[in-house]
Amino acid sequence: MDCLCDEILQLVFYELPDPSALTMVSRRLLRFSQDPYVRAHYFLNHYGPVEAMYQAMSRGKLVTERVLDILLSSGAHLSRYLAQVAIHHFFYTQSHFIKTSWVREVPLKVFAHFLLLAEERYGEIPRGKGEDDGSTFNIFLKESRLPPHLKSVGWESIKSLMETYNFIPFSDRDPIMAQFPLALALEPRLLPYAVANGFSLDYKYRDFVFRKMFERPSPASEAGPADIAHNVQELCNLDPAMFVTRTVAAEICMEAKSNEIGYTALKKLDKSGHLRFELSTLVEDLLGTFLTTRSICTSNTGDVILRLFGDFPSADVSVRLVILVVIFLQAESMHWTPTTIRAKFEGLGIGIVTRKDIVNVLVNPFIEKYTYIEEFALREVGMKEDGSKGMASEQFEDLVEEVAAKCLEIACKGKLLKRLLEAYPRLKDRIGHIILQRYQIQMEDLPSWEDTACRPSYTATLCRDFLRYGMGEVHTLESLEPETLKQEPAEELSSDLEDHPISDASAATTRQPASGLGEITQETLSAMIRHDEIAPIRSRRRIMYTYGPSDSSCKLKYPADAMPVGKLAKSVFGARSAVLAVFMTHAVLNDNCGMLHHYLMYNDGSQSNTSSGRVPVTLKHFQLLARLGRAPNFYVWHDIEVGGEFYLDENDHLSKNNVVESPLQKKVKVETPQPNTLSSSPPTSSNRGKKRPRRTAAVSIRSYAVPDSDDEAIAQSDDPIDDYEEKKVAKESNLQLWIKHLSLLLKTETRKYNQIKKQLEKAAGPDTKIKVNKNDFIKSLATNLRTLRKIDAERRSEDHIHPGDEEYSEDEDDEDYMSRRKKRKTV
């Protein structure tokens, strides 16, 4: 360090937060650090000109008169506001945001020199409580929403503070720093004076500034759309980094009905070319986001959507579907007739509503009733054979069948599907046939867990957990493409659709926002302003606001109180049907906890036996999960632990339960399963007062001696007691069968894993160590098999101590029992 020149040492000092430790290395460094020029420029370079004086006054032992003179002559910012706060803090007269000793460590002689410098620059300095420049600035902000004649502090006063007395927040800890952009939003003409004082507006405050400029004015305010547009233009002209982003513009559009002044000002800016994007494109992108969010169901949002579409018509296919859904939702709440609905479509320039539009509307996740849609389709959609307008009943039934088939893959469409099944009873057989034909999963249909590229992306079609993963792909580009009309399409379609041909890049796919212009959200301007205001700014207290409904609930991808299709299928087809076996397979593969709980543990009350209302778990489920490398769900293991029956696959339990299958209908005949031979719990009845157990409970002693003629009768007797005991020993419980087959499956999967591991180690070379982790299925199976074996051992122990299959008789005495036992023995 002693060999470095002074210029290099200065650069080293400037980078250190606290150079005091470096000054103790050598005498040269200590003398170098005591130089007033080095000290002054350390604060300037390390903290910047705005905070240099504030930080220097906090190091009282380092500051001298010469250091203060060099700081001011080198460009350090000194405002009258800083001098006022320093006076209050040094003499303990007023408590500001500073909680440390700060200027109190500065020697009195040096502080007097500081006051002299401030007095030479600004003259007489107000020192009373509430007379500092910061208090004046806060009053200006509080009175910002008052009429001009009621304001005690006008913008000219703040301009004088900035221009004459160099007012600016001198520290990031100053609460005024967070409020300073608000003053620029209220009066953009203050920005040049703030920039001249060294203030640089952080980009994170940009959206906040423009939000406050477009905020809905108070009733007493005289500001109009032209005034807001003018202020925005002035601010954008003063600083090239200041511009209205797509985020703020979308928030203003969300208040098109409630904030008419701000929305009109935004449209004026769009016409004058002061926006960096097309407002029509922004509205099109914004409307496309409502296709898969719950907010489309609220009446206020629906009115905003129709207002935006009326001002900026769009030919985008997803926007068209959004408008159709909104109209039918409003028709249901307001009880519109088909004629009224048609008038609404014509007023918006939607054009002809086709059969494909009706299908897309019914398939939408947030449509749960179909009555008004059916009435409209029967009167206004298509053409009948006799030339009249509307669909025939047979045509609508075909449409309903198509909709029901699509609703099977949309897990939240249970309510609509239930209503369709009640209105069209023949639909049940058709749905069952479709499920068995399309959605059965075999082993070869699944990707292997060895293929890491396919494993994470695989999802079974039915029984998706929409609470966790949403709806998936409900609408595709192909399904949203307009249907070709056969009768004069050029005359029927509106002029807006002709002027804007539909492009391939529709809103059905995710749009990428323009670079640097911000993302589009469905938040309103008022909600975001309240969010900015309640954001914690260090220790300053804020007032908590609430605005509108919960934002998180409005953005959900599924309707409120949705009925899963899998739950409906159980009530319609029965727990022990072939159709439910398909749904069970999909639920297991998708790890749908809600459906597995309903299938395995829920009893709807209509079943007299709990097991008859339970969908069986089969070994095939484990084999499919083994191929995917996924861990079985907790409910699957729990079902086995509590005594679930063992089945190889769905055909096994369907045949054992006498399920008769036909191409179009499944008739289920459920038999009450026989109790297990091994009791899962000790008998609850008391043993006191009972007779000696029958021969069936006695321990038989077998002899290997060859019977003689006298024992021939005994050797050839067909004692049912012996047959029962032999069958009892030979028969395995359901839990033992599960343990047996799952152990074999674990061995098979472990063998595959070891082979893959050896291949990778061989390919990597002898000196390379490769760690190959076991997949989730092997880990889960190995862990839970130990638990199952432990449970089986406990049940065996309980059955040995408390035999649950003992039979007692009151008409057999002890002597008869002992004689029968002696006769059984062979000497």
| 650 close to 618: Cβ distance less than 8 angstroms | yes
- Rounded to an integer, what distance in angstroms lies between the CA atom of residue 281 and that of residue 452? 40
Nearest to 294 by CA among 419, 471, 464, 417: 471
pLDDT-derived band of residue 437, with 50, 70 and 90 as boundaries? very high
> 23: domain range?
6-122
Statement: residue 638 has pLDDT above 70: yes
Paired tokens of 431? 């749905």
Q: Is 39 among the domain residues?
A: yes
Domain count, the chain: 2
- Which of 122, 145, 163 is a domain's end point? 122
Direct distance between the N- and C-terminal alpha carbons of the chain, in angstroms, rounded to an integer: 106
The pLDDT score that the predictor gives to residue 782 is 93
- Rounded to an integer, what distance in angstroms lies between the CA atom of residue 213 and that of residue 227? 10
The pLDDT score that the predictor gives to residue 489 is 39
Where does residue 736 fall: left (phi above 0), alpha (psi -120 to 50 degrees), or beta otherwise? Answer: alpha
Which residue has better confidence, 112 or 541?
112
- Which of 102, 122, 142 is a domain's end point? 122
- Which of 67, 89, 122 is a domain's end point? 122
Q: Is 813 among the domain residues?
A: yes
Nearest to 614 by CA among 591, 586, 635: 635
Q: Is 774 among the domain residues?
A: yes
Q: Is 308 among the domain residues?
A: no
In this prediction, residues 443-450 reach a mean pLDDT of 85
pLDDT tens-digit readout, 323-332:
999 999 999 9
Q: Is 773 among the domain residues?
A: yes
Helix (H) or strand (E) holding 53: helix 49-57
In this prediction, residues 654-669 reach a mean pLDDT of 50
The CA-based diameter of the chain, rounded to the nearest angstrom, is 138
The pLDDT score that the predictor gives to residue 609 is 41
Q: Is 516 among the domain residues?
A: no
pLDDT tens-digit readout, 369-378:
999 999 999 9
In this prediction, residues 802-809 reach a mean pLDDT of 43
pLDDT-derived band of residue 499, with 50, 70 and 90 as boundaries? very low
pLDDT tens-digit readout, 177-186:
878 877 877 7
The pLDDT score that the predictor gives to residue 143 is 84
| 599 close to 575: Cβ distance less than 8 angstroms | yes
Considering the chain, what percentage of its residues have pLDDT values greater than 70?
Answer: 76
Statement: residue 344 has pLDDT above 70: yes
pLDDT tens-digit readout, 222-269:
678 998 898 888 888 877 778 999 999 999 999 999 999 999 999 999
| 290 close to 306: Cβ distance less than 8 angstroms | no
Residues β-bridged to residue 808: 693
The pLDDT score that the predictor gives to residue 553 is 73
Statement: residue 210 has pLDDT above 70: yes
In this prediction, residues 297-319 reach a mean pLDDT of 92
- Rounded to an integer, what distance in angstroms lies between the CA atom of residue 216 and that of residue 5? 61
Where does residue 70 fall: left (phi above 0), alpha (psi -120 to 50 degrees), or beta otherwise? Answer: alpha
What is the CA angle 133-135-137, rounded to 5?
A: 70
Q: Of 147-151, 523-527, 666-670, 818-822, where does the model show the most confidence? A: 523-527
The pLDDT score that the predictor gives to residue 781 is 94
In this prediction, residues 268-281 reach a mean pLDDT of 92
Statement: residue 130 has pLDDT above 90: no
| 416 close to 368: Cβ distance less than 8 angstroms | yes
Statement: residue 660 has pLDDT above 70: no
pLDDT tens-digit readout, 62-91:
899 999 999 999 999 999 999 999 999 999
pLDDT-derived band of residue 476, with 50, 70 and 90 as boundaries? low
| 350 close to 361: Cβ distance less than 8 angstroms | no
Q: Is 765 among the domain residues?
A: yes
The pLDDT score that the predictor gives to residue 302 is 92
Q: Is 59 among the domain residues?
A: yes
Exposed/middle/buried for residue 818 (C-beta within 10 Å: 0-12, 13-18, 19+): exposed
